[in-house]
Amino acid sequence: MLAGVAPLGRCWHAMWMRNNSKYDPENSGFISTERFRDLLAAHGSELDPHKLEVLLALADGNADGKICYQDFVNLMSNKRSNSFRRAILQGSRQLRNSALREEVGLGLSRRLVRHVAYETLPREVDRKWYFDSYTYCPPPWLMLAITIAEVVVFMYYGFQLNRWVLQVSSPYFLKGPLPYHPQLRAQAWRYLSYIFMHAGIEHLGLNMAMQLLVGVPLEMVHGALRIGLVYVCGVLAGSLAVSVTDMTAPVVGSSGGVYALVSAHLANVVMNWSGMKCQFKLFRMAMALVCMSVEFGRAVWLRFYPPAFPPCPNPSFVAHLGGVAVGLTLGVVVLQNYEQRLQEQSLFWIFFSVYTLFILCGIFWNIFAYSLLDVKLPPPP
């Protein structure tokens, strides 16, 4: 049980067991909060100060007057059970005396972690927990890897087409294996791979800025699995939304996934406005909305701009709206409860079921609707 516990945690385990006959003569796995405070008073200097604060909050938050040994193990191994979270919520007033931002003497990397904590988490107890447990291992590789791949693909087509703006107007742009095209919708990978193609350097630049400035901090806090889930769901919802509502248009760009992350983050900030302590949060929200509006406006303009090779239209903007829909529903639930397992959240399963139903409807639509509606598709690229 102690395999994942730090060496200091093992020392405390040994100390707990040495005092077992004194504090827990019945060997029940619980000791009283009074005796637990005595243990902290005698040996608390050995602990990280934030862990000590959380342990005190745990002691203060247990209404039944007992501390569970398993909760202690969870803390020392950086895990939290539901009962442990409830106890911390009840005793969190113990954590408000010294804010994390007041600490001095931190190195550059630790200041960055503290900054990310205040940018993304609304509660001080979660910020301190994250600050203590984050180790940069693994690093936020997912958003960086996707961004690098997008830049490499854009550079490749830029040199090949000798065009860096409005690449989509080149007859060879849509001939590649990556962009989504309605005539090639049977090639299922295109519903995801289109994110690596961008219409021009302005398209790539805006998506990169939002992807890195919002996606990387979110990945540092919530992990690649959660952020990847929101991102991929936004990407898939974007291409399927286009195939349902803008049936003749191709799709390029990572806006579906980017808008899912950004809209989920902004909604989380608004919903926890009083608890979010990030600097200039109103200004930052306004800048994010301006960037989203500029990028979306560019996409709408391009969609209705006369195509260079009619009757093939320019790429659709509907993928942006699909990403926003995912971010405001599934994304908010994923980001709202820090470290709570997704399978424990009933609201997550509700939104995930609705999302799955939409995906199934989109698949059947792509199989049957085009022929039933006799849609006149543009020629294949």
Q: What is the pLDDT of residues 180-192, one digit of tens each?
A: 999 999 999 999 9
Q: Is 50 annotated as catalytic?
A: no
Give the pLDDT confidence score for residue 365 in this predicted structure: 95
Give the pLDDT confidence score for residue 362 in this predicted structure: 94
Give the pLDDT confidence score for residue 5 in this predicted structure: 42
Say yes or no to pLDDT of 169 above 70.
yes
Say yes or no to pLDDT of 142 above 50.
yes
Average pLDDT over the chain, rounded to an integer: 82
Q: Which of 50, 203, 265, 320 is catalytic?
A: 320
Give the pLDDT confidence score for residue 64 in this predicted structure: 61
Which of 19-28, 86-95, 252-261, 316-325 is least confident?
86-95
Q: What is the pTM of this model?
A: 0.81
Which residue's entry shows tokens 């500029």?
Answer: 294
Q: Closest Cα to residue 376, out of 309, 312, 307, 284? A: 312
- pLDDT tens for 96-118 read 556 777 777 788 998 999 999 99
Q: Which of 92, 243, 255, 316 is catalytic?
A: 255
Distance, in Å, from the CA atom of 5 to the CA atom of 11, rounded to the nearest integer, reads 10
State the average pLDDT over residues 236-257.
Answer: 95
Distance, in Å, from the CA atom of 261 to the CA atom of 156, rounded to the nearest integer, reads 27
Q: Is 320 annotated as catalytic?
A: yes
Q: At what angle do helices 69-76 and 82-91 cross, to 10 degrees?
A: 90
Task: Report the percentage of the chain scoring pLDDT > 90.
Answer: 46
Contacts of 250 (CB under 8 A, 6+ apart): 174, 179, 180, 181, 182, 194, 312, 313, 315, 316, 381
Distance, in Å, from the CA atom of 235 to the CA atom of 248, rounded to the nearest integer, reads 18
Angle at 351 between CA 347 and CA 352, to 5 degrees: 110
Contacts of 348 (CB under 8 A, 6+ apart): 330, 333, 334, 342
Say yes or no to pLDDT of 18 above 60.
no
